[in-house]
Each structure stands twice: as C-alpha cells, then as structure tokens.
C-alpha cells in the first residue's frame, strides 16, 4: 500500500510538494522513498538562494545503504531549508510527509498543476514496487 496524502502533489522521482500559505512550496521525500532508502543519516541540502529548474538535482539524501538525489519539482528559488532535520535524520523515516527538506518559491505558480496528484503517484509508485 503506497501512502500518499491527498492534499499533496508529487513527482515521479518520489518528492512530495505542499503549497504553503506564503506562496512557497514545501518539498520532501515520500514515504515510499524513505522506505526504499532505509535509515537516513545525512542530507546534503540545497543552497538557500539557489535558482533551480524543474528536474534539477538540488540535494542528496544519504541512508546507511545508499545516496539518492533530491530533485526540484518545478523551477524557482530555494528560500529555506529545514534546520530541524540535521542531527534528527530519523524524523524523515518516522514521518516523511511531515519532514519537509526545503522550500521553493516557484517561478510560475501554475507549474504546480503539472505535478502528479496522490492517486497518480500511488499508481506509479505501486507499479514500480
């Protein structure tokens, strides 16, 4: 069973995206991704201020087992990273949808509509299992 809260948007590369009241997008990795990675021990965060294009590798999640890139879901500017995560990496494993990693100010707020909804993401991730 693929967990995918209906209020979030998703990428094929297993990021979740949540529109925030201030117009930015919170980005994290999905429960499917954390499960596949296993115990997470480090995140190389994107630089605050970095301008990114959709699909850019902007950071890396490292588990005991492997390193995995984090991609930008849409074009925009990185405006924050989650300072509550370093040293508490297990929070990503415990609740991946609560552990946002960085916030993106989208270049074009309409780009969000091109991302997957929960049912499309769950169907795709389920097929890849």
Partner 1 sequence: MLKQTVLNAAHRAAGAKLVEFGGWEMPLHYGSQIEEHHAVRRAAGMFDVSHMRVVEVLGAGARSFLRYALANDVAKLAAPGRALYSCMLDARGGVIDDLIAYFVAADAFRLVVNAGTADKDLAWLARLAAQRAEEVDVVPRPDLALIAVQGPYARELAWRALAGLHAASAALAHFEGAFFRDGFVARTGYTGEDGFELMLPAPLAPRAWDALARANVRPCGLGARDTLRLEAGLNLYGQDMDETTSPLESGLAWTVDTRQARDFVGRAALAAPTRVLRGIVLLDPGVLRAHQPVHTARGEGQTTSGSFAPTLGRSIALARVPAGVAAGDPVEVEVRGRRLRAVAVAPPFVRSGASAIERYLEPSQKGQS
The smaller minimum CB distance to partner 1, of residues 45 and 106, is found at 45
- In the chain, the N- to C-terminal Cα span, in Å, equals 10
Q: Which residues bind partner 1 (CB under 8 A)?
A: 38-39, 41-42, 44, 60, 62, 64-65, 67, 86, 93
Distance in Å, CB of 30 to partner 1, minimum: 17
Place of tokens 């040293």: 87
The smaller minimum CB distance to partner 1, of residues 41 and 123, is found at 41
The smaller minimum CB distance to partner 1, of residues 7 and 69, is found at 69
The smaller minimum CB distance to partner 1, of residues 67 and 128, is found at 67
Distance in Å, CB of 68 to partner 1, minimum: 11
Distance in Å, CB of 64 to partner 1, minimum: 5
Kindly provide the residue ranges of all beta strands, DSSP E only, lying in the chain, ordered along the sequence.
9-10, 15-19, 25-29, 40-44, 51-52, 57-63, 67-71, 76-81, 102-106
Put residue 42 in one of left, alpha, beta given phi > 0 → left and psi -120 to 50 → alpha.
beta
């Amino acid at each position: 069973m693929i967990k995918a809260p209906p209020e979030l948007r998703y990428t094929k590369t297993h990021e979740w995206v949540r529109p925030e009241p201030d117009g930015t997008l919170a980005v994290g990795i999905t429960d499917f991704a954390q499960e596949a990675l296993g115990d997470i021990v480090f995140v190389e965060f994107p630089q605050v201020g970095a301008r990114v294009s959709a699909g850019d590798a902007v950071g890396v999640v490292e588990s005991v087992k492997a390193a995995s890139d984090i991609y930008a879901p849409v074009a925009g500017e990185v405006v924050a990273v989650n300072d509550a995560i370093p040293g508490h990496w297990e929070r990503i494993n415990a609740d991946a949808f609560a552990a946002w990693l960085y916030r993106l100010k989208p270049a074009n707020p309409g780009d969000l509509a091109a991302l997957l909804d929960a049912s499309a993401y769950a169907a795709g991730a389920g097929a890849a299992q």
